[in-house]
Amino acid sequence: MRVDRVQPVRFERPFRLAASEDVPELSVVIPLHNEAGNIGALLGEVCNALRGVVRFEVLCVDDASPDNTLEELRRSAADMPELRVLPLAEQAGQSTAIRVGVKAARGRWIATLDGDGQNDPADLPRLLAARDAAGDDIRLVAGWRTKRRDRWDKRLASRIANAVRQSLLHDATPDTGCGIKLFEREAFLDLPYFDHMHRYLPALMQRAGWRTISVPVNHRPRGAGTSHYTNLGRALVGLSDLWGVAWLVRRNRVAKVRPSALESAAPDSDQTPGERAIQMDRSSA
């Protein structure tokens, strides 16, 4: 079986191992780095959670893993027609891997999962149901790990980071670092892209004028391997990113057209809705 490498900054013509013929409603994007011991079982759980619930595809983005992650994906593809594999030519990081998957996705809505198996795919239908019940202006449903299954030092570091983040961004999201999320593809691609942006999706979505909600989800111990992050490394990078996101949020204004201006415009006018709204604003100035 031939596998074409995808350059990390080039998104066109991603390699496809297999795909269902119907256009999916949901695309599940899983970034992977050295997860050979976890990905097979995780993909089986995704299928069990979503088959019969929603038409879906799964895009696994292998971030140049030196272990047997790609071989495990090949084996899984034989029994999983929904699976698509995008191997990166060199390691690019989690945010880039997610963006590669989102750009290649065919579904309007994207769900993300960490590749270590700590996110429970059984929560995906719950996120879909929460989206459907929340209203038309929802663009992000974030998972909230109410009972973390990590070491005490990692839990403490996350609590401190979440408290600092909320004090600066006011994003009303208790667990922005949770890997399981559901969001609209186009809304995500409209956001400013930078490395580590996946940690700030709620604030960035709100900055764009969209509403976000959080839903409690299950959290499990890592099945195999070790975490790719350290508390110190995450803190140093996180502080720099946090100040940058806070700068973006403070300097953003979202303009919304007043419905009353549209309703009062003449029905036979050749003006666009935006032009009519501007005219009404000027006349009332």
What average pLDDT does this structure show over 52-62? 98
Q: Which strands make up the sheet holding 181-184, listed edge to edge?
A: 83-87, 56-62, 26-32, 109-112, 181-184, 138-145, 211-217
Cα-atom radius of gyration of the chain, to the nearest Å? 21
Across the chain, what does the average pLDDT equal? 81
Q: Which two tokens stand for residue 134?
A: 């929340």
Question: What is residue 12's predicted lDDT score, i.e. its pLDDT?
Answer: 37
Q: How confident is the model at residue 194 (pLDDT cuts 50, 70, 90)?
A: confident
Question: What is residue 160's predicted lDDT score, i.e. its pLDDT?
Answer: 73
Per-residue model confidence as pLDDT tens digits over 4-37: 344 443 333 444 444 445 799 999 999 999 999 9
pTM: 0.75
pLDDT at 158 over 80: no
What average pLDDT does this structure show over 126-151? 91
- Strand stretches in 121-227, DSSP E: 138-145, 181-184, 211-217
Domains and their CATH numbers in the chain? 26-250 (3.90.550.10), 257-285 (no CATH)
